[in-house]
Amino acid sequence: MSVSNHVLRRPAAQLMLASLGAALCMGVSQQALAACAGSVASPNSNAVTVLCNNAGGDPNANLTVNDNTTYVDTTTKASGSNVLLQFDGHGRELINNGTITNDRIINGGSGRNHTAVVMGASTINAGNGTTFDSVTVGATTTTIKLGPTVNAGWVNQSIVLGSYDGDDFAPGQAFVIQSVDTVNNTVTVVGVVPSTYTGAGDQRYSIVSNYGGTTTVNGVAYNNVIINSGTISSSIKGAEITANQTGASPTITSASNTGTVKGVTTSVAGTYLIQNNASGTIKATHDGIGTTAAVEAGGQVTSLTIENSGKIIAERTTALTLAAVSATAAPTATEANWPGFTAQNVALVSGVYSEEEAQSITVNNRAGGLIQGKGDYSGALYLRAEEQSITNYGTIEHLSSSGDYSKGYAIASVSNGGEIRELEFTNYGTVHGDILSVNGNALRWYALSTSGIGSVDSRLLINSHTGQANSEIENKASGTIIGNFWYSNGEHELENEGKIVGNIDVDQRDTTYGTVSGSVVTVLAGDDDNPGPSNNTSQGAGFTIRGDKTFEFENSGSFTGNLTITNATSTITNGVYGSQTINKTVASDNSIENSGKFDGNITIKDVAGAKNTVTLVDDGFGRKDDGSVNTATGNITATTGTGNNILNLEGTGTLRGDVSKFTTLKLAASDDAGGGDDDDDDDAPAASGGPNWTLAFGKTFEFLSAANIDAGTLNVAGTLKTPTANIGEDGTLKGTGTIEGNVLNKGTIDLEDNTLHVVGNVTLDDDAKLATTITNSGNGILAITGHLNADDDAAVVANLERVVWSGESFTVATTTTGITGLPEVAETALMHWDASVVSNNLIITADVVDANEIEGISKPGASAINALLGFDSELGVAMLGVEDEDDVRKAGNQLAPETNFATQQAAIALNNAVGQHIDMRLNAVGATGAAPVASGPYGLGMKQPSDPNRSNLGGGLKDDADFVAPRSAALWGQAFGAGLNQNGREQVDGYDARIYGALAGYDNWISPGVRVGVAGGYANTRITGDGDTSRNHTEIDSYLFQAYGAVKGSGWYASARTGFTWNDYDTTRVLTIPFTDKAEGSHDGGQFNASVEIGAPMRFASTILTPVASLTYSRLHQNGYTESSDGGMALDVASQDNDSLVSGLGLKVLVPIANDTVIQGRALWLHEFADDAQNVTASFAAGGGTFAAGGPAVGRDTAALGVGMLAQISAESTFELNYDANVREDYLAHIGSARIDVHF
């Protein structure tokens, strides 16, 4: 039959599905419980208590042990080995819900092997295959002549014919054996064997029981399955050992009982599933020193998958004391339980063990699962399969007889003679104990490395389990590993996101098996040109594993321990791989990257040709798990300095330990590197996105080739020893320590206010910067024991932390042998420098620019800046650093007090508006008309009735009763608003102002032709700056009182008013250059006003034309005040007084448009005789002297234009609406009002 899909050649994906299926669902197909013979009371054979096979033609000999069933064998056996349950062939299934215990005692003899359950034990020949001689094909059968002796028990078994491909037996086709001829060593099979199988060349065969049978778990087929929810155990107990002391084997008194005990073992090529549920326990116990395995993948197993949610435990109960440790023999030890015995070989004790023939083993330890190796020199897992996969969500641990994690290991991964084996381990749970991936017997490697017995270097000569072991280990964020890591040469990757506590030892030197002679060499460093082993000899011939030598450790979690890597370089000359001749060098190439917490030291035992790269990201190196600093760790050492050892620094951090004999230091920009110091001056920054690292005080950092600062910032507080420190264009060097070596600067040396020592020469290349910071206590100095070479295009940058004054000089660099070249000094708009060399020292001298020399600056702005630079302040320092003259001009406007006449003009406009409204009120009631006896022009009504209180709006007389009732007093109210806009003048910014207010008044006739009244009101003014001061604003609350009156004469009138206004001011000024600040202040003031107007109304038809002349005086006083600010722009502003005397000449015209409605127009020329500019005396609140800020003249002549409408809406009330505009050069004011009068 065809076996192309047989489990021996099942693809990896199918095997993975098998494992996944078992993990997802524990359902098992129920097959017939048959063909299991034997019982505890009546053993099936001398060796097997219960045997399940295909006797009687049933291929599905399965067994279910219920929870009320117990399989226990405690009988005594004379000698040999014993098995409690044995399942022969494939397609077997054991479901255990009860107890399966093998406690039989072997009473002497050899062997002494105890096993609870054996799966697939009936394979007769299950190696890579054995050669056969010939094939004779018949009509329906074929006779095959075999080399070895045949067995009559092979009838009804299967013979599998295949080929040997250089690594493994590859099955091709299988045939059922019909008969066996033990004389001629032939078997006759059913079917015709193809002619391609002749027995020649690499053709082989294997005999297998029930070939191809499967059991299905969750839709995935396995050849043999154990589902355990109960207990499976096996043991060799002290009673047995005691019995054997006096038994048939006299040597037992000196040899102890070194027999093998297993809980579950497997045999026959095929796929196996062991599903140990949460309540399940699989355990093997040995009271002696022999081999113990709870679960074993043995023989020709294709794959074993273990799904564990319960307990898998292998235990050695006796404490051991090592007596001898050797690379070529098992370690020996004495036993605490048997003090009379001499030291015996220490055998492997493993919770899970796989033989080297197994193709793959997969261990999935679920949450709550425990895999444990208990006792001295035991392990939880010892894996030798070709492919090894572990996923842990539970606990994998080793516990010694003392209850700690010493004297043993949690996981061991090894290879086979001259082969490459791979471990993939992903940990989400907990591991207690060491982890080994080594080119030789792991117990010997561990004992030679830890016991102190024998030479550690002897581990390179181990002659058992010898081949290249590769590994990929991931400790996830939830994972914890408490134990050491041991690696030999090979390809190893360790990634930690969780927590690791333990040391890492990587020994990449060649390992040798046996005695090497001639060119018998195994090369396991594979690449595209040399894909695998060269001269792959079997164990027994000497060979050297010159394998891959790569180790990658990436730590983003927490690591506590030391890391040691022993480098090696191997040269292969005339090696052979197939038809290829191999000449190559295999050298160590290792990478360590830490972005987490690394509490330990790194030691590289380097050799020529090796490469080791250490990358530190951020400040986790030398820190404990809790984040605190551990000053006892953080050292990075190369022991010889002959390798290529590179230290990369990324992000931000501090190297707190010594660095010895590394080759190169490198700081370079990376995508995830931390940025520079945000407080650095723009002229000397750490590179954007570059690293920022400090070399700690009191430590030495040695780099034998160079220290390259390509980007970012290196702060040398300790001693940096290197032939050359190279500073790239994006790099910055700073510090207080010492550099022993030359410095080549193409970027920035930022001295700050410190002294940095260089024992060597310093070169400032083209465009390089040497930055010094000037403070009140001094400035930074580069102290050179050597020479300074400066390119003419190099620059000295003076960063200021105090204001400097013209003529001050500062030493920037000192030398012992002189200076070649003279760098320029970086200048700003207000800060100029001169450089000179005096006595081998580099000196710079300050020259501060007068702000009046800045193009386009206003006089108040220049005065403010010059005053600011007259004393030391943070704001003054920042101003000296402004580079652009336009920014200086802008800052000057923002720093200066308000000098644009805004508050004065707003007060004048408010006074004018109030006066205009009172004048219109008097006009509306006829108080500015002619006397009743006059024959010429007269008032608004033009016709004065006998009732002096009467007024006709349209020139007509109303004679109805409603309008002839005597009345005198009137109460009126008016709302008004005004908008002012002043353009900038003489580089001083203009403003916009808005005034909103309301007036209420009362007036009355006190005699014919004389009317007086009073008015009061409130107004709010908001002034907003323009241009550079657009964020400035002033709020004014005004409370006003006015007394007014008018006298009518014959063809003339005169009106007058006087009053006082109280003003509350809230001011805000905003600075945006050189930094953001806001100054706020509050003050108050008052305004006195008086005005008089005369006019001569004249009538032309229905139109009244009135020439007018007026004179208005006001005096505005503002109290002095002090602003507050965070950044230093606040001013102390002195009190201010402004006078205004304005004359007015013009015309008013009144035109009736309806019987009760008139339109009035106004046009006047106003001329200012007093103040037309604002002069402010101020000083900065932070200090310094006073300065005068004189504002621009705003103009003396203004055109006042207006129009209004007056309507009588009832006998007792009138309504008025007015608009006025004041216009002059760069100034426009809009005034609007509405008024209602109520007479009574």
The confidence score (pLDDT) of residue 525 equals 57
What pLDDT score does 1226 carry?
A: 82
For residue 387, the surrounding DSSP H or E stretch is strand 387-392
- Please give the full DSSP string across 214-281, using - where no structure is assigned: -EEETTEEESEEEEESSEEEEEE-HHHHHHHHSSS-TTHHHH-----EEEEEE-SSSEEEEEE-TT-E
User: Confidence class of residue 38 from pLDDT cuts 50, 70 and 90?
Assistant: low
Query: Which pLDDT score is estimated for 83?
Result: 83
- Between the CA of residue 510 and those of 465, 515, 560, 979, 1092, what are the distances in Å? 15, 14, 28, 93, 115
User: Nearest-CA neighbor of 990 among 1196, 1174, 1227, 1177?
Assistant: 1227
Which of 62-71, 599-608, 924-933, 956-965 is the least confident region? 956-965
- Asked whether the beta carbons of 545 and 510 are under 8 A apart, the reply is yes
pLDDT band at 965 (very low <50, low <70, confident <90, very high): very low
Q: Which amino acid is at 826?
A: A
Structure tokens at 822: 């003279």
Q: How many C-beta neighbours within 10 Å does residue 25 have?
A: 13
* Alpha carbons 571 and 582: distance in angstroms, whole number: 10
Q: Residue 1235 above 80 pLDDT?
A: no
Confidence of residue 146 (pLDDT cuts 50, 70, 90): confident
Higher pLDDT, 227 or 253: 227
Positive or negative: CA dihedral 738, 739, 742, 748: negative
Q: Three-state secondary structure along 1049-1062?
A: ECCEEEEEEEEEEE
By the 8 A CB rule, do 727 and 750 touch? Answer: no
Q: Could you tell me if 399 and 376 are in contact, meaning their C-beta atoms sit under 8 angstroms apart?
A: no
Q: Write down the CATH superfamily of domain 891-938+970-1038+1095-1239.
A: Autotransporter beta-domain (2.40.128.130)
Distance (Å, rounded) from C-alpha 762 to C-alpha 823? 13
pLDDT of residue 899 exceeding 50: yes
pLDDT at 602: 97
Helix axes of 859-868 and 885-895: crossing angle, nearest 10 degrees: 90
Going by pLDDT thresholds of 50, 70 and 90, the confidence category of residue 737 is very high
Please state, for a pLDDT cut of 90, what percent of the chain lies above it: 53
* Lowest-pLDDT choice from 73-82, 829-838, 1168-1177: 73-82
Predicted local confidence at residue 40, as pLDDT = 53
pLDDT greater than 80 at residue 241: no
Confidence at 8, pLDDT banded by 50, 70, 90: very low
Give residue 17's pLDDT band: very low, low, confident or very high (50, 70, 90): very low
pLDDT tens sequence across 418-430: 788 899 999 999 9
User: When comparing pLDDT for 7 and 595, which is higher?
Assistant: 595
Higher pLDDT: 373 or 2? It is: 373
Q: What is the pLDDT of residues 685-723, one digit of tens each?
A: 434 458 999 999 999 999 999 999 999 999 999 999 999
Q: Quick check: 727 and 744 in contact, CB under 8 A?
A: yes
Amino acid at 453: I
In angstroms, the Cα distances linking 253 to 108, 238, 242, 344 are 11, 13, 9, 11
> Does 1152 sit behind a cis peptide bond, omega within 30 degrees of 0 on the bond before it?
no
DSSP string covering 930-965: --TT-SS--STTSS--SSTT---SSSPPP-SGGGTS
Q: Average the pLDDT over 1156-1174 and give the result.
A: 89
| Listed range (186-195, 242-251, 663-672) with the worst mean pLDDT | 242-251
Please say if the pLDDT value at position 806 is more than 90. Answer: yes
- Lowest-pLDDT range, 39-48, 76-85, 450-459? 39-48
- Assess contact for 1089 and 1061: CB atoms under 8 A: yes
Q: How far apart are CA 632 and CA 737, in angstroms?
A: 21
**Contact call for residues 375 and 401 (beta carbons, < 8 A):** yes
What pLDDT, on the 0 to 100 scale, is given for residue 229? 92
> Which segment of 122-126, 480-484, 551-555, 680-684 scores lowest on mean pLDDT?
680-684
Mean of pLDDT values over 654-675 = 82
Judged by average pLDDT, the poorest of 225-229, 476-480, 540-544 is 540-544
Residue 218 scores a pLDDT above 80: no
pLDDT digits (tens, 9 = 90+) for 198-207: 888 788 887 7
pTM: 0.75
Convert the pLDDT of each residue in 249-305 to its tens digit: 434 444 445 678 898 988 777 889 999 999 999 999 998 888 999 999 987 788 999
481 strand-pairing partners: 431, 500
pLDDT band at 242 (very low <50, low <70, confident <90, very high): low
| CA 227, chain centre distance (Å) | 45
Q: Quickly count: other Cβ atoms within 10 Å of residue 272's Cβ.
A: 29
Distance spanning both ends of the chain, measured CA to CA: 128
Residue 1201: strand pairing partners: 1163, 1221
User: For the chain, what is the mean pLDDT?
Assistant: 84
Retrieve residue 861's tokens. Answer: 């702005």
pLDDT value at 909 more than 60: yes
Predicted pLDDT at 62: 76
Q: To 10 degrees, the CA torsion angle through 174, 9, 420, 206? A: -10
DSSP state, residue 966:
-
Tens digits of per-residue pLDDT, 710-720?
999 999 999 99
Would you say 599 and 560 are in contact if contact means Cβ atoms under 8 Å apart? Answer: yes
